[in-house]
């Protein structure tokens, strides 16, 4: 690649990074994707160029990884808590190379949650005067088609301690569309956008929609926090994951994630996907094998 006009996408083999890469390819933007091995490269969206990358690279290696790219999509791998050691150097490399925009996948409410790694990254982007755009999404609809898919498919239940709270879920595909839009239009530098769906749903309502789509009864079990965390521990979840889940669902029960908005529509010109549209598209995640 000789021109310096590609977007370097971290996490392109994942749900959000893949959506970002597809959105950019659809817009005719060259995409270079960070991969750790050939198996990862095989999972990339069509039209994306793989490039070997690891967050533990030396500064010189990071510079080389960004060769030919003038923009960067940055997201924190869930396994990385120490963002100062593993993410800050990539921000530094981006600045050295004159990257003109860095879009960071952050977290809804991050500005009030100083304990999250995302808060530290956003603060560093501001302190270093990086040309950032922060995307702060609400809960992903995809949590239900990945993390909680087995319980829905095998036991016909949603088992999370959300009580009667509401959540304005967002489709990761819409996050990808937003990223594609802010990478390819002016006016987004040093801005932060909270991305929610346009509907606010209880988990009871989510269960009803899934029941309609799947043609069988799905119920929201409404477990207590204690019951939920005990199940995670029994499944062998590590202590730090259990602690994060405790924090997340306490925030949910305070209805912090309840507020819908039209930011996806404003930034892309199209409304955010409804949960029913998402469920129809992803129904295979919860359908049982025939026979």
Do 149 and 63 belong together in one domain? no
Q: How far apart are CA 220 and CA 111, in angstroms?
A: 31
- Mean pLDDT of the 76-104 span: 95
61-70: per-residue pLDDT in tens?
999 999 999 9
224-262: per-residue pLDDT in tens?
999 999 999 999 999 888 888 998 899 899 999 999 999
Q: Please say if the pLDDT value at position 4 is more than 80.
A: no
CATH number assigned to the domain comprising residue 160? 3.90.25.10
How is residue 284 written in tokens? 């295979």
- Specify burial of residue 108 (Cβ count, 10 A radius: 0-12, 13-18, 19+): buried
Domains identified in the chain, total number: 2
Do 219 and 240 belong together in one domain? yes
Q: How far is CA 82 from CA 12, 45, 125, 160, in A?
A: 21, 29, 16, 28
Q: Please say if the pLDDT value at position 291 is more than 80.
A: no
From 128, 107, 127, 129, select the one nearest 119 (Cα to Cα).
107
Do 112 and 47 belong together in one domain? yes
**Antiparallel, parallel or unpaired: β 219-220 and 166-167:** unpaired
Q: Which residue has the higher pLDDT, 15 or 4?
A: 15
Whole-prediction pTM? 0.94
| E strand or H helix that includes residue 74 | strand 69-74
Q: How far apart are CA 149 and CA 286, in angstroms?
A: 6
206-215: per-residue pLDDT in tens?
999 999 999 9
- Mean pLDDT of the 46-61 span: 95
Both ends of the chain: CA-CA distance in Å? 50
Q: How far is CA 123 from CA 94, 138, 153, 211, 244, in A?
A: 16, 20, 40, 43, 21
Query: What's the domain range around 146?
Result: 142-167+198-257+273-285
């Amino acid at each position: 690649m000789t021109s310096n006009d590609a977007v370097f996408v971290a996490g392109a083999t994942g749900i959000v990074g893949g959506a970002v890469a597809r959105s950019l390819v659809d817009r005719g933007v060259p995409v270079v994707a960070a991969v750790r091995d050939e198996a990862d490269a095989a999972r990339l969206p069509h039209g994306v160029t793989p490039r070997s990358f690891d967050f533990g690279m030396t500064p010189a290696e990071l510079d080389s990884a960004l060769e030919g790219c003038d923009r960067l999509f940055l997201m924190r791998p869930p396994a990385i808590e120490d963002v100062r050691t593993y993410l800050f150097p990539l921000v530094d490399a981006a600045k050295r190379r004159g990257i003109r925009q860095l879009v960071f996948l952050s977290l809804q409410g991050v500005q009030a949650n100083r304990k999250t790694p995302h808060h530290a990254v956003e603060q560093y982007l501001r302190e270093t005067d990086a040309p950032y755009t922060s995307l702060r999404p609400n809960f992903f609809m995809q949590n239900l088609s990945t993390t909680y898919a087995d319980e829905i498919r095998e036991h016909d239940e949603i088992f999370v301690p959300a009580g009667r709270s509401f959540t304005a879920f967002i489709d990761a595909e819409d996050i990808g569309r937003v990223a594609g839009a802010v990478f390819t239009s002016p006016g987004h530098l040093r801005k932060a956008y909270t991305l929610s769906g346009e509907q606010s749903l209880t988990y009871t309502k989510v269960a009803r929609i899934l029941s309609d789509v799947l043609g069988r009864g799905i119920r929201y079990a409404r477990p207590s926090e204690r019951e939920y965390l005990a199940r995670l521990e029994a499944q062998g979840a590590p202590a730090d994951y259990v602690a994060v889940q405790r924090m997340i669902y306490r925030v949910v029960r305070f209805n912090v994630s309840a507020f819908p908005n039209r930011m996806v529509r404003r930034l892309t010109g199209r409304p955010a996907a409804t949960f029913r549209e998402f469920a129809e598209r992803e129904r295979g995640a919860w359908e049982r094998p025939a026979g």
